[in-house]
A and B are shown apart, each in its own frame.
Chain A
Amino acid sequence: MDNYQQNFQRRDMRRRSNQIQPVNETTAGSDAGFDTDAIDSMNTRNSNMVQNRKNMYEVDGAYNTMMSRASFSRSQRMPQTKMDDNNFRSAMPYNRKKMEEMPCGCQDKMPEQERKIPMNTPMNMPMNKPMIKPIQERTCAAGEVCRMEGCALAMAYIPDQEFREVFEDLTHALMVGTIFSELDKPFLMGGCSKK
């Protein structure tokens, strides 16, 4: 076994030990050590406990967030949670397919009943339920054409340049730093330089 395999096995053992300790609240988790078989059997015994804990949260996204914070990141040992439209925004930061399926809201006006935000107010909201706003509420202003429909959030877009409007006076082009009048952006002409 070479160094790479040894390091890989050591890291795998460390991950297994990190995984078992938060679940094992009722038993002596520290006695489990690095024994793989013991970890597997304990996971089986604790599966009911994990399922009960999941049922405490009505929203799967909250469950996922909690489990990831507690270092429960191994998907093959944890029950898979199903993503739906209500929890996908909080549990999954980027999903292009979902984004494309989501209605923007500026084209078709949705019925008033669907536009209601099913959101708990702070007064009646239980402590273990997060406030989740449905993504359907991400609408444009009324009557405005949404040119960025289908584009992902938090991404910058640059229009493709066309070869047009070249300066006839190339001495001026040299002074402003471009031969394209479209790219002549005299930002520095405002503010202090205008005095």
Chain B
Amino acid sequence: MKNDPLMDVYKYGFALIDTALFLDTHPHDQAALEYYEIVRDNYAQAVRVYEENVGPLTKGGVNVNDGWTWVKTPWPWEGGAC
């Protein structure tokens, strides 16, 4: 589970949201701002790794060099993204 690329997307995405919620009420907290930068970079990297190895996560992540991969990978009800 630790090497699951989708789990990396989930956990860094969640940390990104939770940090953003904190920054909404503490916009000048320097420690939170630095942590946000770290989590944001990790999230972007996790998304990139997943989309390069598995497939697009959003409509904006399709690599057209391989064709329209949005419909090539299995849908969630077909066992995809699990």
Contact = CB atoms under 8 A, between A and B. Distances in A.
B26 to A, nearest CB: 7
Interface in B34-63: 35
B33 to A, nearest CB: 9
Interface string B1-44: 11000010011101100110010011001011001000000000
Contacts of B35: 163, 166
Instruction: Decide if the interface of chain B is mainly helix, strand, loop or mixed.
Output: helix
Contact of A173 (B11, B22, B29, B32): B11
B7 A171 contact: yes
A105 B15 CA distance: 46
A161 interface: yes
A179 B29 contact: no
A139 to B, nearest CB: 36
A173 B2 CA distance: 14
Contacts of A179: 14-15, 18-19
Nearest to B12: A170
Contact of B11 (A174, A178, A180): A174
A185 to B, nearest CB: 15
Given A163-B35, A179-B19, A174 B10 contact: yes
Interface of A: 161, 163-164, 166, 170-171, 173-174, 178-180
Interface of B: 1-2, 7, 10-12, 14-15, 18-19, 22, 25-26, 29, 31-32, 35
